[in-house]
A and B are shown apart, each in its own frame.
Chain A
Amino acid sequence: MKPVEVIGIDVSYGAKKVLEAISLHVERGEILGIIGPNGSGKTTLIKAMSRIVAPENGEVHLNDRNLDSFSFRELAQQVAVVPQEISIGFDYTVRDIVMMGRHPYIGRLSSGTARDLEVCDRAMHLANVAHLAGSSVNEISGGERQRVLIARALAQEPKILLLDEATSNLDISHRIEILNIIRSLTDEITVISVFHDLNLAAYYCDRLIMLKDRQVFAVGEPRDVLTQETLNAVYGIDALVKTHPLTGKPYILPVYGHTADHQPEEEGVHVICGGGTGSDLLYALHREGFGVSTGVLNLLDTDYAAATALGIPCITEAPFAAISPDARDNLRRCIDAAYAVVVTAMPIGQGNIENIRILKDYRDKPIILLCGGANPSFQDYVGGEAEAIIRELLDRGAVTAGRIDEVLQVLERMD
């Protein structure tokens, strides 16, 4: 028995199709996020599940029971909705508004029992608005008003909570506060929420459903749904999908501006980098249309993630392993093929010393050190050997560059 099951619904507004053949289900106690670009039908899907709009075809079931068979009161006892925002024309107090959440439980001739008041107080406490109980809803801030709507929804004692971008208009601290409140409720409540912010969706949702052009494009755990490919296909953006260092959830870094729209050159530049020192350089070279290769990088390196995201060929090594003879051979081939090598100011240890040691063999290859000034300093963890190699390269005529655009100028002059 699923709390909510949507079975092949189509929804139209007049002649305009808004949803087509949508099916989904949600498990008890889960947070399901609905994501997708503007106009993909997210809000309409919420409206179909709360019976604001009726599907043309298909059905919505709550606990195996057709939504249409519920009376309005019964439905409001099962499902509560937190809208994006509402404008309240009259000066109700916060308590008035929250108490309206008890409406489906209170008879026509009654004005509510002690239990109704108790539930209402608990809801205000949970949503952290108890101190505002007597204030007018028009005199409190947007974040507070949104929490009042959450309190009202909780006062309905729902089994299912639907949120339609309930936090979109709030600043980041209020978003986190409200989403934390909501996540703390999932022992009793199943949550379905529309998200605009993909990183919040990735963090707070157990599963995501991604809509595109009125249809379901992808469903699953955040790390399966939020990939470079789906983001490109659905939102039309280039983005890096990384793992949040603290939460282990995916997070998305959009690549702003254009990536290369022309074929990179055959002859290229080899970049030796690591530890995140090369990402922006790789992006700049890629954007300017240089043929680029990089490595050796280990698989956990952020520069590796950047290279993969940009589609730059990369010689890799297993995490925490020193550079193997195989990798070194590959590196040699790449450097042979490149007309110049750029080395960034990365930390150098036993693991990656081979990357620069190999440069001693290339007497005639142009080498650029991107190191923030004329006196390059590398973090040397190999007892001076790295420093010695760099000095030797400089003595042999390696060029230093302080900024990325200087690197680009040097490379263009070589062309």
Chain B
Amino acid sequence: MRRTALITILSLTGILLASMACAVILGPASSSPGALFALPNAWKIFWDVRLPRVIVAALVGCALAVAGTAMQGLFRNSMADPYIIGTSSGGALGATLSIVLFAGTGRPVFAFIGATVATFTVYTIARQGGKVPVETLLLSGVALSMLLSAFLSFLMYTAGKSLHQIMFWLMGGFWNVSWDDVRIAILIPIGCLVIYLYARDINIISLGEEDAIHLGVNVERLKQLLLFASAFLTGIAVSIAGAIGFIGLITPHVMRLIVGPDHRILLPAAALAGGILLLWSDTITRTFAGDMPVGIITACFGAPFFIYLLRSRMKA
């Protein structure tokens, strides 16, 4: 068990690094190392455009996957995800506010605040007698997401921004990523590490809150900490790349099938897989799809997956 877990983690690390190397080479302007360096502005494309974008895409994927994994464990509910329960919309609205009001100053902070407020709001609405039932969690998440997206669109529209930009925040993308964004994205591993320190606690709380108390977990504090940390990761991710959906839903699910439910292994596995998944989604959209919002790609495979989960849940 331990060995297979270790092998999985090492393989995923290898795949992620290889993917990053491939992604740097691939792009609309080139499809091989030779072609890349034959370009007149090769260095600029490599260093200023592709490398930061690849790093950020991988880190944002990590952030969303780890936030999704933590939420699924916390809510004992494998359909939780920062996009579905409204965290991402909260972050996007926060980022939009900073753009409309302060010309983008403090964007990550606003996104974090927006994500946190949205998360705790949904949690409070969905909570019934100490439990968070799937149905109410999903419904209140969807309802709040719609409301926040409407606010966001309204703000952008009245501020005279283009539909393109509204679309960016709603669907997510990595168009204008620069080294400044990498500097913000560096906070992502820190957030992941904080959650990882509580991996064993997440294992226990995934059995139920009362059980977790019996086993010595300070449940209220753990919930706050995990919700904050998840909102932190999502806020950073959204402030860089907009609200990208379904990475936080799919990755933990698939990884749980491969490495099992133990969060000490599941969290790093999901982080790596989330990075790989989003990196490839972004590489596909910018290389083959005219750089459309990457959220369209993730929704294309994420939404059917979500429906599949709903169906299998109903059967069970």
Residues of A within 8 A of B (CB): 47, 50-52, 71-77, 79-81, 83, 86-93, 96-97, 100-101, 103-104, 106, 108-109, 111, 152, 156
Max chain B Cβ within 10 angstroms of own Cβ: one of A83, A88, A100, A101: A100
User: Within residues 187 to 209 of chain B, which ones have a CB less than 8 A from any CB in chain A?
Assistant: 197-198, 200-201, 203-204, 206-208
Chain B residues contacting A71 (CB-CB under 8 Å) are 218
User: Within residues 223 to 264 of chain B, which ones have a CB less than 8 A from any CB in chain A?
Assistant: 256, 260-262, 264
Chain A residues contacting B218 (CB-CB under 8 Å) are 71-72
Chain B residues contacting A52 (CB-CB under 8 Å) are 210, 213-214
Do A50 and B213 contact each other (CB < 8 Å), given the known contacts A92-B261, A108-B197? yes
Cα–Cα distance between A104 and B211 once the two chains are bound (Å): 13
Chain A residues contacting B198 (CB-CB under 8 Å) are 108
Q: Mark B145-168, 1 if CB is under 8 A from A, else 0.
A: 000000000000000000000000
Closest to B201 in A: A103
Chain A residues contacting B213 (CB-CB under 8 Å) are 50-52, 72
Cα–Cα distance between A50 and B262 once the two chains are bound (Å): 26
Q: Are A156 and B215 in contact (CB under 8 A)?
A: yes
Chain A residues contacting B256 (CB-CB under 8 Å) are 90-91
16 new A-B contacts at CB < 8 Å, known A72-B217, A90-B256 = A47-B210, A52-B213, A72-B218, A76-B216, A77-B216, A83-B210, A86-B207, A86-B208, A96-B203, A96-B261, A97-B207, A101-B215, A103-B204, A103-B215, A111-B264, A156-B215
The listed residue (B78, B208, B216, B260) touching A103 by CB distance below 8 A is B216
Q: Are A89 and B211 in contact (CB under 8 A)?
A: no
Q: Are B203 and A75 in contact (CB under 8 A)?
A: no
Chain B residues contacting A90 (CB-CB under 8 Å) are 206, 256, 261
Chain B residues contacting A73 (CB-CB under 8 Å) are 216
Chain B residues contacting A109 (CB-CB under 8 Å) are 197
Chain A residues contacting B197 (CB-CB under 8 Å) are 108-109
Chain A residues contacting B217 (CB-CB under 8 Å) are 72, 103
Chain B residues contacting A91 (CB-CB under 8 Å) are 256, 260-261
Q: What are the 3 closest A-B residue pairs judged by CB atoms, nearest first?
A: A76-B216, A104-B216, A90-B261
Q: Are A80 and B78 in contact (CB under 8 A)?
A: no
Distance in Å: Cβ of A81 to nearest Cβ of chain B: 4
The listed residue (B1, B77, B214, B264) touching A89 by CB distance below 8 A is B77
Max chain A Cβ within 10 angstroms of own Cβ: one of B1, B214, B262, B264: B214
The listed residue (A79, A100, A106) touching B207 by CB distance below 8 A is A100
Interface residues on B, range: 20 to 34
The listed residue (A72, A77, A106) touching B200 by CB distance below 8 A is A106
Distance in Å: Cβ of B216 to nearest Cβ of chain A: 3
Do A100 and B203 contact each other (CB < 8 Å), given the known contacts A76-B216, A89-B78? yes
Distance in Å: Cβ of A356 to nearest Cβ of chain B: 64
Distance in Å: Cβ of A343 to nearest Cβ of chain B: 61
Chain A residues contacting B264 (CB-CB under 8 Å) are 111
Whether B50 is near chain A, meaning CB under 8 Å from some CB there, is no
Chain A residues contacting B261 (CB-CB under 8 Å) are 90-92, 96
Q: Are A75 and B216 in contact (CB under 8 A)?
A: yes
Whether B76 is near chain A, meaning CB under 8 Å from some CB there, is yes
The listed residue (A72, A80, A81, A92) touching B203 by CB distance below 8 A is A92
Max chain B Cβ within 10 angstroms of own Cβ: one of A52, A76, A77, A89: A89
Closest to B75 in A: A89
Q: Are A76 and B214 in contact (CB under 8 A)?
A: yes
User: Within residues 43 to 92 of chain B, which ones have a CB less than 8 A from any CB in chain A?
Assistant: 76-78
Do A76 and B215 contact each other (CB < 8 Å), given the known contacts A92-B261, A96-B203, A106-B200? yes
Distance in Å: Cβ of A322 to nearest Cβ of chain B: 62
The listed residue (B201, B214, B262) touching A96 by CB distance below 8 A is B262
Q: Are B206 and A89 in contact (CB under 8 A)?
A: yes
What are 23 inter-chain pairs, A to B, with CB distance below 8 A?
A: A47-B210, A51-B213, A52-B213, A72-B213, A72-B217, A76-B214, A80-B214, A81-B214, A86-B208, A89-B76, A90-B256, A90-B261, A92-B260, A92-B261, A93-B260, A96-B262, A97-B207, A103-B201, A103-B215, A103-B217, A104-B215, A152-B215, A156-B215
Closest to A109 in B: B197
Chain A residues contacting B262 (CB-CB under 8 Å) are 92, 96
Chain B residues contacting A96 (CB-CB under 8 Å) are 203, 261-262
Cα–Cα distance between A82 and B297 once the two chains are bound (Å): 47
Chain B residues contacting A51 (CB-CB under 8 Å) are 213
Closest to A137 in B: B207
Cα–Cα distance between A75 and B260 once the two chains are bound (Å): 30
Chain A residues contacting B203 (CB-CB under 8 Å) are 92, 96, 100
Distance in Å: Cβ of B204 to nearest Cβ of chain A: 5
Chain B residues contacting A75 (CB-CB under 8 Å) are 216
Cα–Cα distance between A100 and B264 once the two chains are bound (Å): 13
Chain A residues contacting B215 (CB-CB under 8 Å) are 76, 100-101, 103-104, 152, 156
Chain A residues contacting B210 (CB-CB under 8 Å) are 47, 52, 83
Cα–Cα distance between A71 and B217 once the two chains are bound (Å): 9
Cα–Cα distance between A81 and B261 once the two chains are bound (Å): 23
Max chain B Cβ within 10 angstroms of own Cβ: one of A83, A103, A111: A103
Cα–Cα distance between A109 and B78 once the two chains are bound (Å): 27
Max chain B Cβ within 10 angstroms of own Cβ: one of A52, A101, A111: A52
Distance in Å: Cβ of A156 to nearest Cβ of chain B: 7
Closest to A110 in B: B200
Cα–Cα distance between A39 and B204 once the two chains are bound (Å): 29
Chain B residues contacting A81 (CB-CB under 8 Å) are 214
Cα–Cα distance between A50 and B207 once the two chains are bound (Å): 17
Chain A residues contacting B204 (CB-CB under 8 Å) are 100, 103
Chain B residues contacting A152 (CB-CB under 8 Å) are 215
Distance in Å: Cβ of B51 to nearest Cβ of chain A: 34
Q: Are B77 and A83 in contact (CB under 8 A)?
A: no
Cα–Cα distance between A104 and B213 once the two chains are bound (Å): 10
